[in-house]
Amino acid sequence: MLFVMSSSSAEPRTAAVGTTAVAADGSATGSVPGASGTDARLTARAEAMARARATGQQVEVVPDRDAYSQNWANPDGTYTMTMAVSPQRGRAADGSMQPIDTRLERRGDGWVGPRVPGAPVAFSGGGDGRRMVLVECEGHRLELGWPGRLPSPVLDGDAAVYREVLPGADLRLTATADGFREVLVVKTPAAARSAVVRSLRFSMSSDDLRIVGTASGGAQALDADGNVVFSSPAAVMWDSQGDAAPGTTTPPADPTATADPPPTAGPTTAAGATPSTTVTGPATSTPAEQEPVDQQVDPLTRQRNLVSDGAVREEGTAPDADDASAVLPMTVSATAVTVTPDTELLTGADTVYPVYIDPSFGISRSEWTMVSSAHDPKWKYTDDEGMGYCGTYLGYWCGSGFKKRLFFEFTGSRLVGKEVLDATFAVTEVWSMSCEASWVDLERVDGGISSSTKWPGPASVDQMGDRKVAYGRGSACSPSVPAQPVEFNDNPDETDENLTSTVNAFAHGKWSTLTLMLRAKDETDPNGWKRFKNNAALTVVYVPIPDKPKSLGIRPTKAPETACSTSSTNPTIVDSKTPVVQAAPKVTAVASGDPVQSLAVEFNVHKLDPTAKTWSSAWTDTKPDSGWVSDGTKLPATTTALTDGGTYRLRARTRSHWSYGGSSGDRYSAYAGWCYFTVDASAPKPPVITSTGPYQLCLTDDCPAAGGPGQAGTFSLAPATSSTDIVKYEWWLAGDGTGTAWTTVTGKTATISVKPPLAGTYVLWARAWDSLHPGPQTSFKFRVAAPEGPVGVWHFAESSGTTAADSAGSGAAKPLTLAGGAAFDGRGRRGNLPPEQPADRALALNGTSAYATSAGPLVSPTNSFTASAWAYLRPGSTRNMVVFGQSATDAVRTGFNLYYSISAEKWILCWHSVDPTTGSTTIVRSYADIKNPALEVWTHLAAVYDAGQKGKETIQLFVNGRPQGTPVTLTGITLTATPGAAGVFQVGRASTNNASFTDYANGLVDEVHLWQRVLTPEELAVDAALLSADGNPATALTGSWAADVGTTDGATSIPDTSAYARGALERSSAGTALDVASGLVTFDGAAGSLTGTGPVVDETGSFTVSVAASIDSAALATKPAGYRAQVAGQRSGVDGAESSWGLWYEQAAVSDGVPVGRWVFGRTGVDGSGTAATSTKALSEELAGLDVMVQLTGVYDARDRSVHLYVGPLCQDDGTGVATFAADQQGSGELSVGRGRRAGAWGDALPGAVASVRVWAGAMNDFEVGDQAVAGL
């Protein structure tokens, strides 16, 4: 079994002379342990750049060095990064990154492992076979087991041999650069008849990965975002017919084969034996093709003990040229993979023992493969493979006349957010058919590759370059030509060499993967046969892509704060004809870790012609006047003299300057803005703002914080000394969770009460009015202190047991005890967590008896409190389903619970009490606004109890961070006065009498939080965002469909491989084609579609959807302007006439036969009849790329109802204002791919292809889109 990791990066070319490694403190070092954490990386990059500029030498950023990639700061302000498809380094025992050393050694903990592993892997030291192999990748662990006990292994270099693991059979585990190989060596016919051998079952377990089968018969382990962490091709078996004699072994390869051999007599061309013949599919095999006896053998291949095609002979690692072999698809379950060997090959009359059975697994961070016109492909081949035409050259035998091509796939994990100035592809050639050089082409191909890819492989779409070379024959040639890298870099004199522009387009998200093919230019020329290692690498020189500037606005009073009114009808007022404007240049969020010194801001002001209603340029300037600044530096600029009374608008963009290789240039971001303002020299002067407490004026960044969220501050507004005719003031509060509307107060002076909704920094703006008009606004900046944190937090992240720990860290711990069959489930709402954190889980409830309970009361009705949780409930219950609640134990039995009501078909928060005299129950309810909420989706729910006014206590329900209705007074409710009698807090059930529990929840509950205070609505919106410590929203993958996972060619459906195992996407009866090898479903643009059952997420909350898709330009050329081709969407309801959300292409025109249009992510709200009532959409800034696979990501953020579109890793907000959606809209009915629902009919057919569809609960930010939705693929 070959298990490999899934990642992307690269081995660099040899560093330039003068290259230095720099530690985080700036000291030079040959090799230092890699720093961890974002801050350490930022510091190291800044220090490396400073050192490179100071010394004029290239300096390595050591913390960026990993198994696949390295990064250097260059003296000219650029960076050089390398990314290899296969691991080149590993973490040594001292923590430093060193060249990989797979030689095994015994460890003190009883395991066996490589000295410097490319992939952290450990083999059993003997004993219980259930822990045969442990392999790790970025915090994920996978264990594989053998069905029986294992003897102590014999170590042989990189292999651990478990002899006689079965009578007559050895188990050989071999460490590789990116995983391990697992080969069962069946030595005798008796062993071959063993029941264990005839059905080899390897157990598999992981805390946070899901095991799924692939169309090619392999297996994949997927993380919570649906990304492949570990993968395996189909198993392979072969016998020993190719050995020198039956039952014997071939002499080992010359260990000095990579060195120049001594000169040989005879020709300098290769010769040798025939290739192997393999069979794809189960239970089949083919006798080997025998080498013709009259073929000459190249003396060089004999001296090096090579196979005829130049390959090194290695017993037991892969079939030799003459071995009979077969491919064995694996049977995959959630806990095991099973391999059924080919019976004829295993025990046939012609079988030559030993027989080798090889199911392999490893870390799958990147992809490479060989395809052959005559053999099975070799996905993730080790060491080297052939390329070109293998026939007979000048009488010397290479093979029977087959062809091979090599493919290398790079993902964008290291490239997103970068402007590539130069790119080089390099791969080492280790063998050439002769000393005469031949041409090799490097080409970009359409789509990606996988273990399913077969001859001829994806089609070429563009040539990257070509080279005429012959390396690897050493001193057999004159002069000597040892193995060495073949480098492809654009030749300016050859216009068809496009590597740099191609890699740059890839970094900008123009397509989802970059796959390069290496092939002989002439595939009929036997002299073109070569062999290349698997160390293909991209080396790029880059600068980060600039982003729209931040902090854009006008400084009305020349204060540090800027104001920006996005309303042309309510512009900012300035009383100076030469106002000060300001902005801070930025680089993209995914590249913000790269210090940039060469930035500037270009300002642009337009003036309104009130008669013609048109705008014209009035002033443009770039700051600074000379030189450059770093990311985030605020740059003020004073405009030219403007017209008093004129109305203007301001925008700005970031300018990024680069200089490299004797050339220089600039790249500009999209514009930020517009900010509207009016010049009024006679306007009233800005007022004076003073605070009477508790908030204080901030004059420095570290000013003291005061108050808290929802705590009012009192401010006085007074006229400026020269202003005598002030009649009123307008004010508004700027900061997180605030709006943009002005509030008016009358009088020459005024006192206002301001309630900041969250902790952090706020700016109070105010302007004075005389009887005619307003004046410039002034500001008062202050900081709001952080409030008391939660008194209880339960993540339910335990892997076993019956106790859920309280993670609040305040006061005594309050664990919850699981009972009645409650358990921990791997489908947690926080989703895929960083490697340093444990796997996320949730509380699983069975709907009949399961719950979790505290030991005593957690809240008292004498004090205000807030409780929240995430719920994922299943339909079908005949009872109400309680998420959480608490009931008293005294006679009053007062209490509360939050539940889903079967009769009302709504979420309800209720408070109840019992009259101890009559026994009658009084219930007060706070209802959700929307009926029939979606189930089997994650929904954030919160209960707020406000005990602030005695006798007027209130409750209010919140759904997805949004208040439902208004607070409800607890009329007629008797409150328990004794905290000790307040009962217990329970999750998953509740009762009004604290004795009979019937309303059990069926589903999952996660992230239960409890505060002993009232949270503001804005605080609950933040709680619903589920932010991590670094401010990134948690997202949980709730649906994932890919054309090359879990399906086969011709299948009528594509399964959901997320942890939620939703229904499959069903192909329409006509108009679609499924090609697993290319990983695509193609649509005819008429009848074709995929349809599944929705919804996948709660669309009244935040969600993210990402689709890899392409669109056919030829088909679009026949479509009219306004044509919409929908990639994916959710119907607005079972009878809905619209798509609740959709990703689509919108055509503007066809110009000279070329379609012109943009990508769109949009939302549509419907009224009671299902007809469209409101809609909004976000469009791509640039025209849509056609005929290429593009990653499209749509994000709906419920906190501000904003709609965002990403093309590749880049957000497409165009700077004119973020699109917002006015309503809470929940879709239901069909989830469709390749068509859309609009105006009551299906249509908007997609002529194109889709590779994958993924949907998450939660709104990804810029970084997460680049890191999870795009780079993770």
**Residues 992, 984: contact at Cβ < 8 Å?**
no
Q: List pLDDT tens digits, range 435-471.
A: 999 999 999 998 788 888 889 999 999 999 999 999 9
**Residues 478, 562: contact at Cβ < 8 Å?**
no
What is the C-alpha to C-alpha distance for residues 873 and 936, in angstroms, rounded to an integer? Answer: 5
Q: List pLDDT tens digits, range 814-826.
A: 999 999 999 999 8
CATH class belonging to 1036-1270: mainly beta
pLDDT, residue 310, reads 80
Q: List pLDDT tens digits, range 1212-1247.
A: 876 566 788 888 889 998 999 999 999 889 999 999
In 742-894, at which residue ranges do the beta strands (DSSP E only) sit? Answer: 743-746, 750-754, 760-769, 774-784, 792-794, 803-804, 816-819, 823-825, 842-846, 851-853, 865-873, 881-887
- Superfamily of 688-784 according to CATH: Immunoglobulins (2.60.40.10)
Q: Where in the chain is the domain with CATH 2.60.120.200?
A: 792-1025, 1036-1270
**Residues 1030, 833: contact at Cβ < 8 Å?**
no
Q: Where in the chain is the domain with CATH 2.60.40.10?
A: 688-784
Around Cβ 912, how many Cβ atoms within 10 Å?
24
DSSP β-ladder status, 865-873 and 1002-1011: antiparallel
Q: Is residue 1263 classed as helix, strand or coil in its secondary structure?
A: helix
Tokens standing for residue 724: 């005598």
Q: List pLDDT tens digits, range 1035-1089.
A: 999 999 999 887 887 899 999 999 998 999 999 999 999 988 788 999 999 999 9
Which DSSP letter does residue 290 get?
P
Tokens standing for residue 1203: 């709609």
Which DSSP letter does residue 591 get?
G
Residue ranges for the chain with pLDDT beneath 50: 7-37, 244-294
pLDDT, residue 287, reads 34
CA–CA–CA angle 781, 783, 784 (5° rounding): 135
Q: List pLDDT tens digits, range 263-295.
A: 333 334 333 332 332 323 333 333 333 344 445
What is the C-alpha to C-alpha distance for residues 32 and 916, in angstroms, rounded to an integer? Answer: 73
Q: What would the DSSP string read from start to end of 906-959? A: EEEEEEEEE-TTT--EEEEEEE-SSSS--SSS-EEEEEEEE-SSTT--EEEEEE
**Residues 515, 443: contact at Cβ < 8 Å?**
no
**Residues 553, 563: contact at Cβ < 8 Å?**
yes
Which DSSP letter does residue 1251 get?
E
Please give the C-alpha separations between residue 776 and each of 552, 581, 677, 770, in angstroms, as whole numbers: 17, 14, 10, 12
What is the C-alpha to C-alpha distance for residues 605 and 674, in angstroms, rounded to an integer? Answer: 9
Provide the residue count of the chain.
1273
In 67-151, at which residue ranges do the beta strands (DSSP E only) sit? Answer: 69-73, 79-84, 89-91, 97-99, 101-106, 112-116, 121-123, 127-128, 133-137, 140-145, 149-150
Cβ neighbors of 1037 (< 8 A, separation 6 or more) are: 224, 225, 226, 831, 832, 1058, 1059, 1254, 1255, 1256
* CB half-sphere exposure, 378, CA atoms < 13 A: 22
- The one-letter amino acid at 193: R
* CB half-sphere exposure, 541, CA atoms < 13 A: 17
**Residues 1001, 881: contact at Cβ < 8 Å?**
yes
Task: Determine the straight-line distance between the first and last CA of the chain, rounded to whole angstroms.
Answer: 23
What is the C-alpha to C-alpha distance for residues 145 and 336, in angstroms, rounded to an integer? Answer: 9
pLDDT, residue 40, reads 60
**Residues 794, 816: contact at Cβ < 8 Å?**
yes
Cis peptide before 624 (omega within 30 of 0): yes
> Which CATH topology does 792-1025 take?
Jelly Rolls (2.60.120)
pLDDT, residue 137, reads 82
